[in-house]
Each structure stands twice: as structure tokens, then as C-alpha cells.
Amino acid sequence: MFTFTPLRPADLPRLRLWLAMPHVRAWWGDPDTGIREIRRLMASDWAEPMLVAWQGRQIGYLQAYDAAVAAPGGDAEPGSFGIDLFIGEPSYVGKGLGTAFLGAYTDRLLKGGRALRILARPARLNHRAVRCLEGAGFHPLDDDCGPLLAMAKDRPGL
């Protein structure tokens, strides 16, 4: 149903267009800054930036990363991954596909033994992102991150 393909330099123009779309830019900020950060992730050995396709059509972006490496000295425990995503194609927004691909990817990451916990920090006011994460099995943490909402999805049985 969904495929996750490692991001290549040739994919950056598509990603730049998506980052410039109002429904993405509202939460991801300046597209040029976003592309610089994504390039940094592409060059790392601790992050997986990916294009997401549904039924053969590229619809969005997902990045997973080792949370302890991404923010050394932070509160992420070993075995924790961070995750960020968006649906880039406007015609696919609001159809539940973000929740579906996030759930599929995070279930695979947790059940495959690579992660003990997956963390996300959407803007508290980004109600669509919060609902997406909740639908994919994330729960809020008792953590005051100001304008961000700390959320986690844990390996079953922990």
C-alpha cells in the first residue's frame, strides 16, 4: 500500500515545491531553511529522510532519526527515534493517509526491534498533526514543551 523510498538529491525540487505550499509552510516554515535541514539529514548516518508513495504516487515526506544523536544531552533515551512528516500533495490532505502511513512505518520500526519509543513534537495548534499522531497510536507525554506537544508511541509490551 505505502512505499518509503530514501530521499535522493533529484527529489529535492519536488520537496521544495511541497515545502512552499501553504498547508506545509504554515508548520515547516521557510522552504529554503527546510531544504538545508533535509540536506543535513541526508548526509547523516543517523537519519532516514524518505518520500512516501501511495498506490505508486508520491504524496509526502517522512523523516525518522535517532533522537539521542539528533539532540545530544536531551531527554531521549537510547532506542528512541524522532519522526516528522507531511502530506505534500494538497489533494491527499485530510483523507487519513498521513495517519495510515505513519502508523504503518512506526509499527514496522517498533515491532522490528529498531526502536523502543518514537517521539514527535507537533505544534500544539497544529490540530491536524496532533490528530494524525493520535490516530497512529501516539499519546501525549507529561512534558511542557511550550508551543510544542511532546508525544510518544511505545513498543507494545513496554
- The pLDDT assigned to 74 comes to 62
pTM given for the model: 0.90
- 150/13 Cα distance (integer angstroms): 31
Regarding beta strands 80-87 and 117-120, do their DSSP bridges make them parallel or antiparallel, or are they unpaired?
A: parallel
CB 150 within 8 A of CB 121: yes
- 158/137 Cα distance (integer angstroms): 14
CB neighbour burial string for 92-128, b if at least 16 within 10 angstroms, e if fewer: bbeeebbbbbbbebbbebbeeeebebbbbbbeeebee
Tens-digit pLDDT string for the chain (158 aa): 899 999 999 999 999 999 999 999 999 999 999 999 999 999 999 999 999 999 999 999 999 998 877 765 566 777 889 999 999 999 999 999 999 999 999 999 898 777 889 999 999 999 999 999 999 999 998 777 688 898 999 988 65
**Cα four-point dihedral sign 74, 77, 40, 49:** negative
